[in-house]
Chain A
Amino acid sequence: MFEATEKTRGRVGRSHVMSLALGLLTVLLAAPTLIVLAVLVYRGAPALSLDFLLSPPRAGMTAGGIFPAIVGTFYLVGLSLLVSVPLGVMGAVYLTEYARPGRLLDFVHLAIVNLAGVPSIVHALFGVGAFVVFMRLGTSILAASLTLAVMNLPIVIAATRESLLAVPYSFRQASWALGASRAQTVWHIVLPNALPGILTGVVFAVSRAAGETAPILFTGVAFYLPSLPNNVFDQCMALSMHLFTITTQVVGVPESYPAATALVLIALVLSANAVSVVLRSRHRKNRRW
């Protein structure tokens, strides 16, 4: 009954060409990631071992492992998230659910968007001025984490805001009409449904906190430390910094070491991603509109 006419047959043909072209583009987009991973695995695999992961660097960082750097990265990422996620989410909730729209609010949004675009080295200088010197925290895990948190704050706020705004306004109205307060509405209706989007922002913040070198360079990370940090006022090592160090500052590092270090860093970030994917899909099963 519905057979292709001369005209539509041409259309069907064109649509095949189009989807082929788009498919190729997709492969092209995925290719760099896969190539980087492949190169790193190829070059880093010889160095990877349990010993590499669990022992400190030795012989002027030309031998041994990267354990202190892994621990340091965990400290920095964890502590910075502890600050940036609650602050960022609460800030975004205030901005979208409580603040009256107007010029001031527009200005604040503009400031946040711009802050997200500030280069990390500028955040580093801010961190030195504000946390290391002014707050007298010294070069410490705390100062470095706070600097990372400041850097990530606009990202968490922007991601949270987007996902809060994606929750239909009619849900809020229905909730208010049933005698729920603004806070109850946020807690029971808005936040649970915005969670997947917030999680995406958090994972991005994890990647940035784990990967950036500049903000921690002057604020709390050392090239090499003989022992693990005891508390947040100590300095620590970090994977990103360690990678920079053994690539450019130390002579005689085995060729496989930088690649293996990078692989560990990427693996950590990807596993954070994987966790969020699992959480999101589990979440999606329960809610749908």
Chain B
Amino acid sequence: MVKTAASVAVKGLRAWYGGVEALRGVDLEVGAGEIVAIIGPAQAGKSTLMSCLSRLSDEVVGLRVEGSVAVGGEDVFAMRDVAALRRRVGLVAPLPVGLPMSVIDNVTYAPRMAGARKGPELRERAEKCLRAAALWDEVKDRLDQTATRLSGGQQQRLAIARALSHEPEVLCLDEFSIAIDPVTTARIEELLKAMRSQVTIVLVTNLIHQARRLADHTAMMWEGRVIEVQPTAAFFDSPQHELTRGYLEGRFG
């Protein structure tokens, strides 16, 4: 289902919403097939950074971006075909959004928009993606039901299945477990680990332990900058930055 993982390199990325600076020069290297977790408080710029990776930042009115993002060595902001980029870099947004169409149509949406025809092949692919998102067993009998009637947690997993449907090289998960119970979260985490090396995963999470469980590297964002990146074990055992230490010990809210 997944082709080849691609590396991600962010250099000097800055972003402004009108006059407000959301990213103040972000540098971040993610190796192909790695899982990198980004933690940090609200307003640190985590979601803005994610939106830049697949240039969804283009669609945000009033957002100005400077600096460079490279996926698989290619400069993202120089790309002509944004749709092709977005099929290479899948994004799952924090709030679960089932598109107002059937479950199966949701999962086949991306391939269909890229020109694939409906048929058994596409259905098979959809099944694979739904299995990968730990949703298949719950929806296999109601694939033709409207997706917006699924529960919040199911819609969240549907969003993950959908992001896998276009065989991305990079998968960006922004707070994917926000609406999912711990057991299901654990199942998805297992599946993410199994996908390692096939797809690069950038994970924004508020669950510090999720970063610890999953990530090869963990990064700390603070006020628009990545202030520390380390291999996960080292990150948690011996954080170098004063703010990271404080954050991990729960000294901030």
Cβ-defined contact, A289 with B148, below 8 A: yes
Taking CB atoms, residues of chain B closer than 8 Å to A286 are: 146
Task: Encode A153-189 as 1/0 by CB contact (under 8 A) with B.
Answer: 0000000000000001011111111111100100011
Contact of A171 among B99, B149, B165 (CB under 8 A): B99
Contact of A100 among B61, B110, B113, B159 (CB under 8 A): B61
Taking CB atoms, residues of chain A closer than 8 Å to B83 are: 179-181
Cβ-defined contact, B113 with A173, below 8 A: no
CA–CA, A82 to B91, complex, Å?
41
Whole-angstrom distance from the CB of A187 to the nearest CB of chain B?
10
Cβ-defined contact, B113 with A288, below 8 A: no
CA–CA, A171 to B54, complex, Å?
17
Main SS class of interface, A: helix
A193 within 8 A of B: yes
Whole-angstrom distance from the CB of B54 to the nearest CB of chain A?
7
The answer to whether residues A288 and B86 also contact, given A101-B61, A177-B54, A178-B166 and a CB cut-off of 8 A, is: no
CA–CA, A171 to B56, complex, Å?
13
Taking CB atoms, residues of chain A closer than 8 Å to B146 are: 286-288
Cβ-defined contact, A179 with B113, below 8 A: yes
Cβ-defined contact, A189 with B93, below 8 A: no
Cβ-defined contact, B110 with A180, below 8 A: yes
Interface size on B, residues (CB 8 A): 29
B90 within 8 A of A: yes
CB-CB nearest in chain A for B105: A188
Cβ-defined contact, B100 with A188, below 8 A: no
Task: Encode B125-165 as 1/0 by CB contact (under 8 A) with A.
Answer: 00000000000000000000010110000000001001101
CB-CB nearest in chain B for A167: B100
B234 within 8 A of A: no
Whole-angstrom distance from the CB of A281 to the nearest CB of chain B?
16
Cβ-defined contact, A176 with B59, below 8 A: yes
Cβ-defined contact, A179 with B87, below 8 A: yes
Cβ-defined contact, A171 with B100, below 8 A: yes
CA–CA, A194 to B250, complex, Å?
46
CA–CA, A176 to B54, complex, Å?
10
Taking CB atoms, residues of chain B closer than 8 Å to A100 are: 61
CA–CA, A193 to B97, complex, Å?
15
Taking CB atoms, residues of chain B closer than 8 Å to A177 are: 54, 56, 86, 90-91, 93, 163
CA–CA, A178 to B107, complex, Å?
10
Task: Encode B76-93 as 1/0 by CB contact (under 8 A) with A.
Answer: 000000011011001101
Cβ-defined contact, B100 with A287, below 8 A: yes
Contact of B100 among A178, A180, A184, A288 (CB under 8 A): A288
Cβ-defined contact, B95 with A170, below 8 A: yes
CA–CA, A288 to B149, complex, Å?
8
CB-CB nearest in chain B for A180: B113
Cβ-defined contact, A193 with B162, below 8 A: no
B114 within 8 A of A: yes
Taking CB atoms, residues of chain B closer than 8 Å to A168 are: 97
Q: Which 4 A-B pairs have the closest CB atoms?
A: A178-B110, A289-B148, A179-B87, A179-B86
18 contacts between A and B (CB under 8 A): A101-B61, A168-B97, A171-B99, A173-B59, A174-B99, A174-B159, A174-B162, A175-B99, A176-B56, A176-B59, A177-B54, A177-B86, A177-B93, A178-B90, A178-B163, A179-B113, A181-B83, A286-B146
Given A174-B99, A177-B54, A177-B91: 13 more A-B contacts, CB < 8 Å: A100-B61, A171-B97, A171-B100, A173-B59, A175-B99, A175-B113, A176-B86, A177-B86, A178-B87, A180-B113, A184-B113, A189-B99, A189-B100
